[in-house]
Every structure is written in C-alpha cells, then in structure tokens.
C-alpha cells in the first residue's frame, strides 16, 4: 500500500502505536505468568503458556457468515449497494488484500460498524442507521477503519488477548478457594500461605482487563492511521467520528440527572475506544503528501438496504433540478 502520509509522520505514529501494543500485550502476559508462578512455580508458567496457545488454537470460532446471521445482517448486492461495494473493492486494493471483505448491513437504527473473521475471509457489517446518517465520504473513512483492523490482524490479536484475559479470570476462583483454606490457619496464627499472593491472584483479572482495554485503544489509533493511508483523507474519518459522537445516544438520556447524563465522560482506562476528541486531533495532525490524491467517492442516491424506505440524502444539484 503506497504511503499517502509524510514518511516521518507515518513512522512516528506507527512506532508509537506498536510500542503501546507491545507493552500492553506484554503486560497482560506478565500478569498471567506472575499469577500462575505464585501458585505452581515455574512449571505452572510453562503449563499456562501451553494452555493459552492450545485454547486459542482449538477454541471453536464462528465463521464470519454465522456472526452476521446472529445480527440478522444481510449481504449487500451490486444492484442496491453498488457504490458501497465498489468503495470496499477500492479500499481493499489499496490495503493489499487479495480478496475484499464481504459487506453486510444490519437492520438497526443504531450507528455502528464492525469487522469479523480472518484476513483471508473477513466480513464487515454496517448498520442501516449509519448509512442514513453519514455522507459517503464519512462512510469511506469508517469502512477504511474496519478494513485496517482486518489488514493489521487486530481480530487475531484481540482474540488472543481475550483468551489470556479469560484464563486470568479463572484465577479469581483459585484465589477465593485459597482464601477460604487460609482463614483457619490465620485464626490459629499459622496461615498456610501469605495473603499477598492471594490478593494479587484476586486482582489479576482486573489488571488484565484494564490492559486489554488499553490494547484495544492502541489498536484503534493504529486503525485510524491506516484508514488515513488508504483513503488519503483523514478529514473524512475525523468528520465521521465527530458526527457519530454527536449522534450516539438517545434524547431521554439528556433528560436524566445530572444533565446531560450521556455527556459525562467515562474514565479513559475503562474505555475500549479512545476519546473521540483525541482521535480527531491525531487525524488532523497528519500531513498528507501533496502528490497523493484522496479516494474518489461517488455521492449518489441510495435506496434502503433493509426495506425502511429511501435513505436520507443531502440534496444534490443536477440538471435540470435538485436530486436526492
């Protein structure tokens, strides 16, 4: 994929995002290794590492099509969503994918998009609400962001992180059992083991979950960068993020106390996605090379994908009048 950013800027962003991912992923591994070492020693660490690999390799995974059926998503065909499919084809070619992800629409008024599957067999779902609310330029940024997750193997990375987190979660029950067994000895003045390892075992899942959320946020930053590389248009993705942040939620949430309730920011460490304003600020700082053209997006009228009536489009001035 040819770089559409200034090479120094691109290298700086890639190195920072890669370092964050390595540190967070390594932190999750360190927490799991330390927790198992406290119980079984060095042999326990080795057994746990083998267990993580085995669970991740052998765990049943739903095919991309099955995941889409769970969401009642429908594949987009050329006759109704040709411009969207053409956009995915162009973005996939720029990203270097041998086969473009399949595109589905979810019959929901929420504003969301996600990717699933593997790099060689991926699927992207967008909701009807997102198609109604965003311009094609903004939709191009969102699709490029999801394709970036596929290209960067983020689905694989987050799947492995989830396996490690779930295995660490099981240590909570071990800590509870050890605590129960340790109480009689503590009352008699001769505890079986120290309480500090038990406390660490109990807190290990929480620490691992926080690191997993941090890893997710780091991968989101990287996907934003790759999306800007694909489209040559970081402003389009920034506009989509700003619009999604403004439209997400319901009006009655603004009527709850304290007002406005849904605008109270969640602590950053508890988010799976970075703060929207920070993502927008990073995108707007990117320096696009002047010799690279942004992707051409056709803003043509679009019919609904799921039978709700025409998708709302902004008026387009065409001879001999106004088209929608």
State residue 128's pLDDT score: 86
78-92, 181-195, 228-242: least confident range? 181-195
State residue 113's pLDDT score: 92
State residue 319's pLDDT score: 44
State residue 138's pLDDT score: 93
For the chain, the domains span 7-285
31-35, 42-46, 90-94, 191-195: least confident range? 191-195
State residue 103's pLDDT score: 94
- pLDDT tens profile 196-210: 778 888 888 888 888
- For the chain, the average pLDDT equals 77
| Of residues 242, 237, 249, the one with CA closest to residue 294 | 237
Q: Residue 322 CA to chain centroid, in angstroms?
A: 39
Q: With a cut of 70, say whether residue 127 has pLDDT above it.
A: yes
| % of the chain residues with pLDDT over 90 | 13
Alpha helices in 59-153 (DSSP H): 64-70, 78-95, 128-133, 136-151
Q: With a cut of 70, say whether residue 302 has pLDDT above it.
A: no
* DSSP reduced 3-state for 276: helix
Catalytic residues: 146
State residue 125's pLDDT score: 93
Q: With a cut of 90, say whether residue 238 has pLDDT above it.
A: yes
State residue 237's pLDDT score: 93
State residue 109's pLDDT score: 79
164 close to 29: Cβ distance less than 8 angstroms: yes
Residue 96 burial by Cβ neighbours in a 10 Å radius (0-12, 13-18, 19+)? exposed
Of the two residues 240 and 167, the one the predictor is more confident about is: 240
């Amino acid at each position: 994929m040819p770089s559409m950013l200034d090479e120094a800027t691109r290298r700086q962003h890639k190195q920072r995002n890669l370092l964050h991912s390595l540190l967070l992923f390594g932190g999750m591994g360190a927490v799991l290794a330390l927790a198992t070492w406290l119980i079984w020693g060095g042999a326990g660490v080795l057994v746990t590492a083998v267990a993580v690999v085995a669970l991740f390799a052998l765990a049943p995974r739903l095919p991309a099509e099955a995941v889409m059926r769970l969401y009642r998503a429908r594949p987009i065909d050329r006759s109704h969503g040709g411009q969207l499919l053409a956009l995915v084809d162009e973005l996939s070619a720029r990203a270097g994918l041998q086969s473009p992800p399949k595109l589905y629409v979810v019959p929901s008024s929420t504003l969301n998009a996600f990717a699933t599957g593997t790099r060689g067999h991926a699927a992207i779902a967008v909701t009807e609400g997102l198609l109604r609310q965003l311009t094609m330029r903004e939709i191009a940024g969102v699709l490029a962001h999801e394709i970036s997750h596929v290209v960067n193997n983020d689905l694989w990375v987050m799947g492995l992180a989830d396996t490690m987190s779930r295995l660490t979660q099981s240590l909570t029950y071990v800590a509870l059992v050890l605590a129960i067994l340790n109480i009689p000895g503590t009352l008699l003045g001769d505890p079986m083991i120290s309480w500090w390892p038990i406390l660490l075992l109990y807190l290990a899942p929480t620490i691992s979950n926080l690191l997993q959320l941090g890893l997710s946020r780091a991968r989101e930053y990287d996907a934003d960068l790759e999306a800007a590389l694909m489209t040559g248009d970081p402003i389009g993705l920034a506009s989509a993020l700003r619009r999604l942040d403004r439209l997400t939620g319901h009006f009655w949430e603004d009527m709850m106390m304290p007002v406005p309730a849904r605008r109270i920011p969640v602590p950053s460490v508890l988010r799976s996605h970075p703060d929207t304003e920070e993502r927008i600020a990073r995108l707007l700082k990117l320096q696009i090379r002047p010799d690279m053209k942004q992707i051409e997006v056709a803003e043509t009228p679009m019919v609904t994908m799921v039978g709700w009536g025409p998708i709302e489009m902004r008026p387009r001035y065409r001879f001999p009048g106004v088209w929608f």
